[in-house]
């Protein structure tokens, strides 16, 4: 049994953008991914979370982005907190305050940074001192992509055969990560997406005739991406990044009924990225479960890419992000 701290603990974590996508679960109850994935943590997408265990609380409480969390979000978070309480051998309820400094639930991986920050803050507040691998396992049980946001730079998610074997690790490539940038083009004002990732993954796996092909391409894409990172080869990594994203969305679009996250502006942005490459600008697009487009490029070309994306009608905002660091206590 541990002793919870008597004071709040605050943690900061960054969202990550998968370059080789996480799309589908092998075990939904334990949040085990159907395949591995690979990501880049982004400095510009930050979540700050504070956790306080308080014996005076009858129930867990949660404030999200300045307002009380919905009943569904609170219930999910409370069930996840039970994992922390079980490890710490405590029953104390917790008060959580969390804020995403970017649009929530819109396809910008807010659940990744959210549960990474929560895993670190809650475990420390409960009196635990978890190693990065154990933090990654804990974060994964809240959100699959959160396992990667425990780390900075490039990270690799291992699908594993059991819960204890499904976790992320850092990839040695910090010097390369420091050279790259991700240009983020927000479409539609960052409004919440119509299809939540968890439900969409399940529907796609059950109904899309292209889903098996999607899973089959992931191992090769992971090997190619890791090799590109080892060689600090941005064009090779960019080609895999764009191709893998398109394959994921192809499987989603082929679902019955279709899951279509793209908006007309999404397609216009992808066309502009291809036009930039034809003009010699290193730029490769990726899209997650939402309409926004993220463009992998080099630091020297980031302003040119951002300017081109801002000119596309329907783009709400454009930002440039460097590689982000690991989850930390504030």
Residue-wise pLDDT for 150-193, tens only, equals 999 999 999 998 999 999 999 999 999 999 999 999 998 766 66
pLDDT at 197 over 90: no
d(CA 215, CA 197): 17
Domains and CATH numbers, the chain: 9-175 (3.30.230.10), 179-321 (3.30.70.890)
Does 105 have pLDDT greater than 60?
A: no
Rg of the chain over all Cα atoms, to the nearest angstrom: 19
Q: What pLDDT sits at residue 114? A: 94
Q: Is the peptide bond before 257 cis (omega within 30 degrees of 0)?
A: yes
Q: Retrieve residue 191's tokens.
A: 């409004």
**Strand runs (DSSP E) across the chain, as ranges?**
9-20, 25-27, 32-33, 37-53, 61-64, 67-68, 94-100, 154-158, 167-170, 180-187, 283-286, 293-298, 315-321, 328-329
- pLDDT reported for residue 245: 98
User: What is the pLDDT, as a whole number, of residue 175?
Assistant: 97
- Report DSSP letters for 202-244, one per residue: HHHHHH-TTHHHHHHHHHHHHHHHHHHHHTT-HHHHHHHHHHH
Q: What is the pLDDT of residues 51-80, one digit of tens each?
A: 999 999 999 999 999 999 999 999 999 999
111 pLDDT higher than 70: yes
Predicted local distance difference test score (pLDDT) of residue 255: 98
pLDDT band at 103 (very low <50, low <70, confident <90, very high): low
Q: Cα torsion at 266, 267, 273, 274 (round to 10°)? A: 160
pLDDT at 95: 98
pLDDT computed for residue 108 by the predictor: 58
CA distance 287 to 196: 15
Q: Looking at residue 188, what is its pLDDT?
A: 85
- Euclidean distance between the first and the last CA atom of the chain, given in angstroms as a whole number: 25
Q: Is the pLDDT of residue 5 over 80?
A: no
Gap between the Cα atoms of 217 and 155, Å rounded: 19
pTM of the entire structure?
0.93
What residues are paired with 318 via a beta bridge? Answer: 185
Separation CA 138–CA 140 (nearest Å): 5
Residue with tokens 């299809």: 195
Share of the chain above pLDDT 90, in %: 87
Q: Measure the CA–CA gap between 96 and 84, rounded to whole angstroms.
A: 14
- Mean pLDDT across the chain: 94
What is the percent of the chain where pLDDT is above 70? 96
Cα–Cα distance measured from residue 40 to residue 20, given in angstroms and rounded to the nearest whole number: 10
Size (the chain), residues: 330
Confidence label for 3 from pLDDT (cuts 50, 70 and 90): confident
pLDDT at 83: 97
């Amino acid at each position: 049994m541990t002793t919870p701290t008597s004071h709040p603990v605050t943690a900061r974590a960054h969202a990550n953008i998968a370059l080789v996508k996480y799309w589908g679960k092998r075990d939904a109850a334990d949040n085990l991914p159907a395949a591995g994935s690979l990501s880049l943590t982004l400095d510009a997408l930050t979540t700050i979370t504070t956790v306080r265990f308080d014996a005076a609380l009858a129930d867990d409480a949660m404030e999200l982005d300045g307002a009380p969390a919905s009943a569904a979000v609170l219930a999910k978070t409370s069930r996840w907190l039970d994992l922390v309480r079980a490890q710490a051998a405590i029953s104390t309820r917790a008060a959580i305050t969390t804020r995403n400094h970017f649009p929530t639930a819109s396809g910008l991986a807010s659940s990744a940074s959210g549960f990474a920050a929560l895993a670190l803050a809650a475990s420390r507040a409960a009196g635990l001192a978890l190693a990065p691998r154990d933090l990654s396992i804990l974060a994964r049980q809240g959100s699959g992509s959160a396992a990667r946001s425990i780390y900075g730079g490039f990270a690799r998610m291992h699908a594993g055969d059991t819960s204890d074997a499904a976790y992320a690790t850092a990839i040695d490539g910090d010097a390369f990560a420091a050279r790259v940038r991700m240009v983020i083009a927000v479409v539609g004002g960052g409004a919440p997406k119509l299809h939540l990732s968890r439900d969409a993954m399940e529907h796609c796996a059950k109904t899309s005739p292209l889903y098996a092909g999607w899973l089959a391409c992931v191992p090769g894409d992971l090997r190619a991406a890791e090799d590109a990172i080892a060689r600090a080869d941005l064009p090779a990594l960019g080609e895999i990044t764009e191709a893998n994203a398109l394959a994921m969305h192809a499987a989603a679009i082929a679902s019955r009924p279709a899951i279509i996250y793209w908006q007309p502006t999404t397609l216009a942005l992808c066309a502009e990225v291809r036009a930039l490459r034809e003009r010699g600008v290193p730029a490769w697009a990726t899209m997650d479960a939402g309409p926004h487009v993220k463009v992998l490029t080099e630091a020297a070309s980031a302003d040119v890419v951002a300017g081109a994306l801002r000119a596309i009608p329907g783009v709400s905002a454009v930002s440039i992000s460097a590689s982000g660091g690991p989850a930390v206590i504030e």
